[in-house]
Amino acid sequence: MKVKMILPSLLESGSPGQRPIKYSLFPPLGLATLAGHFPENWDIELVDQHVMTLSLNDEPDLVMIEVYITNSYRAYEIADHYRAKGVKVILGGLHVTSMLAEALEHGDALFIGPADHSFPEFLKDFKNGHVKKVYHSKTRNLNRIPLIRRDLIQRYRYLVPNSLVVSRGCPHHCNFCYKDAFFEGGKSFYTQQIEDVLEDIGQLPGKHLYFLDDHLLGNTPYSKQLFREIKGMNRLFQGASTVDAILRGNLIDHAVSAGLRSIFIGFESINSSSLISSNKKQNLSYKSEDAIKKLRDLGVRVNGSFVFGLDGDGPDVFDRTVDWAVNQGLTTATFHIATPYPGTAFYKSIEKQGRLIHKKWDLYDTRQVVFKPIGMSEYQLKQGYDKAYQDFYKWSNILSSAKVQLNIQDIVRQFSYSAGWKKLEPLWNFLVQSGSLPYARKVLESILDSKVSNKVNDRRDTINLINHKKELA
């Protein structure tokens, strides 16, 4: 049996306008996870159109396509092409879940929500020749799911092939987030068994890991246990968290002592009214500045993520946000234009108020304005967003941000990391296109690898000692 799994991309790999480095970061973990369910003797091909050329001349027995919002038109085109040849096509992922009616005409079977349990059910039906039109995930756990088929991933094509997810969802409910719609009808935050995680990590060569979980610190007892196990493995890792989880208790100390070196935090907005309107409570009860300070003291680099155009934002939000991010010494910052994803509470409210400009999903990429903001014009929002990126990554701001670090080594390290990341994009793109990513990865990893500062190493040793004493007590 021949199966083709496809992650379509909005723009083909190598086409003008595509940003090779952005799309060569992570392999398609969702599809590689589901591939673990196939019998061993099936012939499986995994094509990630962000980094590979997709050929459409074949006739596999089954085509599986992952659909997210910006790739949805491309996904439907590919699906229609194969179905016209009589090939069975199944569709799943976030956009299928939120736009089932739209996706229905393009697939033989569609999957709502996470498919870790509904996909094996489909496979049984497929073998028996009677597939249902819609499979809805009801069981919500990650127990006994097979190991990710990492052998299907062409590692050399990615900057961060050692990415993994040990949970699904998140404990919070921000109103602009995909999460509540995707997990509707069941649990929306659950974790994988630690022994399975360790087995997956065991498959990953090198030292560095990148957790793509929405919230790596979302379940304190689980994360503590995970960090205790990872600690002995001589790994360094990156992950995402919210502000409150960094300041509550000592979980972050455990993470650092296990090898956490860099963290992604969705600060989203410096306007508390925007946070309130987005139900982002977890960022309101604690001060972001305190979380950043704690992370700096622990030697952890911070990548902050911000959204512009929420209802509490006026035209001053861009400069204020950039100033704040620079003054706080963030290593990198990611800016987004608020985007109402179908299915979210944000989308429903914007649609009800008649503020949606269009439903061209390929433009819902967080870089375009797709709804009418209330505190500024659409033009101001787009200009302000573009300017925020330019300003944050100005040489003078890269330097000012680096200067917030604790000592000269860290200043140099942060400066090279931020400058290398944003100022050298043409070089990164050249490396991607010439197949040299593994070398580039080594350089990036060596920056993350290097000991952060003596103060931090002392601090890490102290944490290790305290933990050790506690264990003995």
Q: Please give the residue ranges that form the binding site for ligand SF4 (CB under 6 A).
A: 170, 172-174, 177, 179, 214-215, 242, 266
What tokens does 431 get? 């490396």
Listed residue (360, 357, 387) closest to 373, CA to CA? 357
- Does residue 66 interact with ligand B12 by CB under 6 A? yes
Interacting residues with ligand B12 between 147 and 186 (CB under 6 A): 165, 177-178
What sign results for the dihedral spanned by CA atoms 286, 288, 289, 293? positive
Q: Write down the least CB distance from residue 113 to ligand B12, Å.
A: 7
Which residues pair with residue 21 across a beta bridge? none
The three-state secondary structure class of 176 is coil
Q: Which of 212, 226, 260, 456 binds ligand B12 (CB under 6 A)?
A: 212
Listed residue (473, 469, 451) closest to 460, CA to CA? 451
Q: Write down the least CB distance from residue 7 to ligand SF4, Å.
A: 21
Q: Which residue type, as a one-letter code, is found at position 384?
A: G
Q: Which of 23, 76, 385, 392 binds ligand B12 (CB under 6 A)?
A: 23
Query: For ligand B12, which is the closer residue by CB, 25 or 270?
Result: 25
The three-state secondary structure class of 94 is helix
Q: Which residue type, as a one-letter code, is found at position 33?
A: T
- What is the DSSP-derived secondary structure letter of residue 55? P
Angle 437-449/425-433 helices, nearest 10 degrees?
A: 130
- Does residue 115 interact with ligand B12 by CB under 6 A? yes
Query: For ligand SF4, which is the closer residue by CB, 182 or 371?
Result: 182
- What's the CA gap between 372 and 376, in Å, rounded? 9
- What's the CA gap between 347 and 356, in Å, rounded? 8
Query: For ligand SF4, which is the closer residue by CB, 46 or 275?
Result: 275
Contact region with ligand B12 (CB under 6 A), list: 86-94, 254-262, 292-300, 315-323: 86-94
The three-state secondary structure class of 191 is strand
Residue 425 CB contacts under 8 Å (≥ 6 apart), including other chains: 19, 21
Q: Write down the least CB distance from residue 284 to ligand B12, Å.
A: 20
Q: Write down the least CB distance from residue 265 to ligand SF4, Å.
A: 10
Q: Which of 2, 12, 25, 229 binds ligand B12 (CB under 6 A)?
A: 25
Contact region with ligand B12 (CB under 6 A), list: 109-117, 224-232, 268-276, 391-399: 109-117
Interacting residues with ligand B12 between 3 and 22 (CB under 6 A): 7, 9-10, 22
What is the pairing mode between strands 260-268 and 163-164? unpaired
Q: Write down the least CB distance from residue 179 to ligand SF4, Å.
A: 5
**Nearest-5° Cα angle at 295, 292 to 301:** 95
On whether the CB atoms of residues 94 and 67 are closer than 8 A, the answer is: yes
Q: Write down the least CB distance from residue 257 to ligand B12, Å.
A: 25
On whether the CB atoms of residues 70 and 10 are closer than 8 A, the answer is: yes
For 236, phi then psi, to 5°, come to -120, 145
Which residues pair with residue 110 across a beta bridge? 91, 134
Gyration radius (Cα) of the chain, Å: 22
Q: Write down the least CB distance from residue 94 to ligand SF4, Å.
A: 12
Query: For ligand SF4, which is the closer residue by CB, 49 or 242?
Result: 242
Distance of CA 195 to the CA centre of its chain: 23
Give me the 278-317 binding string for ligand B12, x by CB under 6 A, dash otherwise: ----------------------------------------
Q: Which of 4, 13, 21, 26 binds ligand B12 (CB under 6 A)?
A: 26
Q: Write down the least CB distance from residue 404 to ligand B12, Å.
A: 26
- Does residue 369 interact with ligand B12 by CB under 6 A? no
Query: For ligand B12, which is the closer residue by CB, 50 or 208?
Result: 50
Contact region with ligand B12 (CB under 6 A), list: 112-120, 373-381, 418-426, 456-464: 112-120
Q: Which of 3, 13, 21, 30 binds ligand B12 (CB under 6 A)?
A: 30
- What's the CA gap between 135 and 104, in Å, rounded? 12
Residues lying near ligand B12 in the complex (CB under 6 A) are found at: 7, 9-10, 22-23, 25-26, 28-30, 33-34, 50, 64-66, 68-71, 90-95, 111, 114-116, 119, 165, 177-178, 212, 214, 336, 341, 365-366
